[in-house]
Structure 1
């Protein structure tokens, strides 16, 4: 009987150990699969973002080509060549990203060939323009170019649709992984507990082996609790990471994405301090945009990119306490012999450095979650890249390409918004209507290309003579508007005179020749003196402009306070 019990005890202990091993292996495999799904989702989002970047470059190239054909401005030609020169590298990146998907790889190759055909058409048009001028270039733009552009858009939509289908499939795979982890917890743990109970019952009668049996039971229970804790932590971390990634994709601004990342990292690493840096547009400095927790090592609010090993090498840099390697130059250390642990994780998307995640702590405990930190940083990088691309596309939708000023639709939206804001704050607002004098006659003499050159130069002058908070727009033709929020009548009048004088001294070049001097007439209306609605202010400013034209042009007129007088003067 004792021998049989000993055999039963051995079998029970081995079964319990096997259960725990299966649970542990299952948890590790499920977690790795979950992280793998998250990485594949990040990869798919990277492909979608790269497709959008390629389309944006192609549109930029087409827009620059049209601008050059219309204005002969070499800046447009330089923009076209820059956009065209960056496309091959982006297309190569896309083919590299989709090389593991034969269908997408074939589609990407076909799209590349179609883009090269379109670029060839644009090069041919520029060649015709160089030899035969604008009429020759216009004749070279035919149905073939439109068919190629349509095919490009269709292929891009198909590529994005395929990637979105992959997102759906990988979301299903993530749910399956979570189901597997729950099944292991719900089935394996009770079974392990039951086996432990049986072993414990058998050991009750064996007085001499009680201590050993209790130790084994305690060890098994401790292992089980550790597995449960690890499972709960990993499950919570993965759920939080998945939720964080989903919310990042829904952010509508860079500030919102940075705020969300700050909250996530502060919860993920409560015992470490963190700082999020963004690389400035000039690509020379990293600037602090968010901070959380308490740093073991402080850092500056701004530092050159070469001061950080992670930004130099393009990969995470871990510096442990008492590490022999030199620390980053941007980290303030008390001494080389007592440097606490810190980590620099670069934020990179599409090969572009977007920022840096800097973490530091008094011990190495936070390094245990570095896999989650890296995955979260990659998701943040892709989100920031996507939001910046969306921001550039939004700017393109509200800017008028010839002058670089805002268009009429943006004027109407901005005027209503700024009027409401000034009314709430009891502040004034100025509105100018500007019209280049005798522009039709100028256009008849120097042609549309000369007129466009003049309009573009006036747009640059208007931006240069405006405040940062002012909103300069092209109203239509040779008419422009300028909104001056929180500007009093004296300031608005002085600004209008400065613009008028600036136009007198303006020099516009076309085809290497200086165009004749022009003048501008300006009508001014003020809120609240001349009205509280955008439509009313525009009408009053237009009436003042009309009076300036009839009073001899090249002058500034202010709207009349009497609405009846304005209506009588207006054409």
Structure 2
């Protein structure tokens, strides 16, 4: 009987060992699979960001081409050549990223052919412009160009949609990994505990030294509980990391993503102080944007980039207490004793440094969770990079680059929106049409560069003399528009006179010389007196502007209450 029990003990121990080995292997495989999925998600986000960047580059080239055709400004032509020259490198990078996906690789090649076809069309248009002028260039822009542009947009949407579908699949794979870890914890560990308990009971009956056996059993149980707690904590960390990554993808502003990261890191490392730095646009200083917990050793609110080893090397830098290596310069060294443990994790996306995560604590325990910290920092980096790109594209789509004012498309959208809002609230709305007097003569005399300097300075003046709620737009050429929501006629008239006087006193310096003074003519129309629709209101303001020109320029004219009279005057 004792021999059978000893055999049973051995078999029981072997079974328990196999179960825990299986649980451990399952956890490792599940964690590796989760990390692979996270890397694939980052890869997919990088592909999407690159597709958006290529589209933006192509649109920049098209905008530069149109600017050259309309203004004959060689700077626009240089911008077009620059945008065109950057596209092959971006396309090659995109093709390298999707090389492991045959379908996406074929789509990228097809998209590349359409882009080359579009570039060829734009080159042909420039050639026609060089030989036949603007009229000849306009004739070359036909249905084929529109079909090519439509095909480019459709292919880009298909590329992004395919990558987004991959994101859904990889999220499902992450959930499968979490379910596997949960199943291992629920089924494998209790079974192993049952076997260990049986074996322990037999050993108690057989071993003479009960006290030693009980102590060994207590130690074994303690190890098991710690393992269980570690497994449960690891599973909870993975679930929290997955949820954090998913919420980062839904953020619409960088501040929102930073706030979410602050909450996540404070929960992940509750006894650790943390500071999140963003690198300024000048790329010379890192500036604090968020702080949580209590640092073992505080860092400055701002410091030069070379002061941090992590930013110098482009990889995480961990400094343990009593370590012989020199700490980062931005970490204040105590006058007595060793520097406490800290870690600096750079935020890098698309090869660009975006910021730094700085952590410090009197306890080294937080360093054991650095893998989770690095993964979370990578996800934050990709989210911030994507949000910055979206913000740049948004500004480019509604702002006119020379003056910094809103473009004509945004004017039409805003005018319709503000008219509807003022109509609901029974409030007035003012609309100004502004035209710089004798601008063509000024442009011919001082060149396009001088004209651009004048337009840029006028844009700054118009913004400075506008209210916060006003909407200043460049309508086209030397014509500008100002929408004044909820402004009565007296306020609009006073604002128009202030702008007219401001332009009269404006002085523009170009190439070290002061350009001659200019004046502006302004036409004013009011809602609802002069029209209830944006088109009619614009027409009335334009007619009033025309009367101001006819009356000698450098003056403000208000639309008449008789639309027919304005039309006949125009």
Instruction: Name the TM-score, length of structure 2 as normaliser.
Output: 0.81
Distance in 1 (CA, whole Å) between partners of 2:146 and 2:248 is 37
1:198 is aligned to 198
Within 2, Cα distance between the matches of 1:410 and 1:186?
A: 58
Q: Give yes or no for the alignment of 1:368 onto 2:368.
A: yes
User: Which deviations, in whole Å up to 9, do the C-alpha atoms of 1:294-324 show, x marking residues without a partner?
Assistant: 2223223233333332223222222222333
Going from structure 1 to structure 2, the CA distance change for 1:50 and 1:225 (only over 3 Å counts) comes to same
Structure 1 residues 3-42: aligned runs within 5 Å: 3-42=3-42
Matched, 1:464 2:460: yes
Pick closer, same or farther for the CA change 1:491–1:225 going to 2, 3 Å. Answer: farther
Q: 1:56 to 1:340 in 2, by over 3 A?
A: same
User: Any conservation in 1 of the 2:524–2:545 contact (CA below 8 Å)?
Assistant: yes
SS at match of 2:16: helix
SS in 2 for 1:299: coil
Report what 1:108 is aligned to.
108
Residues 1:42 and 1:130: Cα distance change in structure 2 (over 3 Å): same
Change (3 A) 1:408 1:69: closer
Which whole-Å CA distance do the structure 2 matches of 1:127 and 1:546 have between them?
Answer: 37
Specify the alignment match of 2:499 in structure 1.
496
User: Which residue is 2:118 aligned to?
Assistant: 118
Bigger drift between 107-116 and 544-553 goes to: 544-553
The residue aligned with 1:176 is: 176
> Does the C-alpha gap of structure 1 residues 179 and 121 become closer, same or farther in structure 2, counting only changes over 3 Å?
same
Distance 1:542 1:87, change over 3 A: closer
- Decide whether aligned partners of structure 1 residues 169 and 264 sit closer, same or farther in structure 2, where only a CA change above 3 A counts: same
Distance 1:83 1:364, change over 3 A: farther
Higher RCO (C-alpha under 8 Å, 6+ residues apart): 1
User: SS at 2:208's partner residue?
Assistant: helix
Shift of 1:401: 6.5
Using the alignment, how far apart are the partners of 1:312 and 1:461 within structure 2? Answer: 40
Counterparts in 2 of 1:367 and 1:494: CA distance versus 1, 3 Å: farther
SS at match of 2:274: strand
Per-residue CA deviation, residues 500-555 of structure 1 (Å, 9 max, x unaligned), is 3157x66999xxxxx9986421357999xx99x99899899879857745653212
1:297 alignment partner, SS class: coil
Match of 1:512 in 2: none
Counterpart residue number, 2:243:
243
Match of 2:50 in 1: 50
Separation in 2 of the partners of 1:543 and 1:118? 40
- Asked if structure 1 preserves the Cα contact closer than 8 Å seen for 2:34 and 2:177, the reply is yes
State the alpha-carbon separation in 2 of the partners of residues 375 and 417 from structure 1: 43
SS for the counterpart of 1:223 is helix
Give the count of matched residue pairs: 549
**Deviation at 1:223?**
2.6
Query: Contact conserved, 1:436 with 1:520, CA < 8 A, in 2?
Result: yes
Measured in 2, the distance between the counterparts of 1:13 and 1:465 equals 84
How many Å apart are 1:12 and its aligned residue?
Answer: 1.9
SS at match of 1:329: coil
Matches within 5 A, 1:541-560: 548-549=548-549, 551-556=551-556
The 1:566/1:227 distance shift into structure 2, 3 A limit, reads farther
Rounded Cα–Cα distance in structure 1 between residues aligned with 2:335 and 2:22: 48
- Aligned partners of 2:462 and 2:499 also within 8 Å: no
1:394-420 Cα distance to aligned partner (Å, 9 max, x none)? 223323477652135644776899999
**CA 1:302 to 1:78, structure 2 compared with 1: closer, same or farther past 3 Å?**
farther
Deviates more, 1:101-110 or 1:452-461: 452-461
5+ residue gaps, structure 1 = 423-427, 510-514
**Cα 1:477–1:121, aligned 2, differ >3 Å: closer, same or farther?**
closer
Please give the per-residue CA displacement for 1:408-464, whole angstroms capped at 9, x wherever unaligned: 564477689999999xxxxx999754234478xx59x999xx999998665412222
Shift of 1:137: 3.9
- CA distance in 2 between partners of 1:341 and 1:491 (Å): 64
* CA contact 2:503–2:518 (8 Å) conserved in 1: no
Checking the alignment, whether the CA contact within 8 Å between 1:285 and 1:302 is kept in structure 2 is yes
TM-score, length-scaled by structure 1: 0.81
Provide the C-alpha distance between the structure 2 equivalents of 1:429 and 1:289, rounded to a whole number of angstroms.
Answer: 40
With over 3 angstroms needed to count, the CA separation of the structure-2 counterparts of 1:61 and 1:222, relative to structure 1, is same
Say if 1:336 and 1:305 are closer, same or farther in 2 by CA, change over 3 A.
farther
* CA distance 1:267–1:282, change in 2 (3 Å): same
Change (3 A) 1:152 1:566: closer
- Kindly indicate whether the alpha-carbon contact (under 8 Å) linking 2:504 and 2:518 is maintained by their aligned counterparts in 1: no
Please give the secondary structure, in 1, of the residue aligned with 2:329: coil
Indicate the RMSD between aligned Cα atoms, in angstroms.
4.3
**Deviation sequence 1:118-171 (CA, Å, 0-9, x none):** 334434443454455434544554555445434433332332232222222212
Question: How much does 1:188 deviate?
Answer: 0.8
Cα–Cα, structure 1 residues 307 and 165, in superposed 2: closer, same or farther, change >3 Å? same
Question: In 1, Cα distance between the equivalents of 2:340 and 2:434?
Answer: 62
- 8 Å CA contact 1:500, 1:555 repeated in 2: no
- State the Cα distance separating 1:212 from its structure 2 match: 4.6
C-alpha contact (below 8 Å) 1:111/1:156 kept by paired residues: yes
Q: Is the 8 A contact 1:455 1:478 kept in 2?
A: no
Task: Write the mapping of 1:412-491 to structure 2, written as runs, cut at 5 A.
Answer: 432-437=432-437, 459-467=455-463, 469=468, 471-475=471-475, 479-482=479-482
The answer on whether the counterparts of 1:320 and 1:364 sit within 8 Å (CA) in structure 2 is: yes
Superposition deviation, residue 71 in structure 1: 1.1
Tell me, what secondary structure is at the counterpart of 1:465?
helix
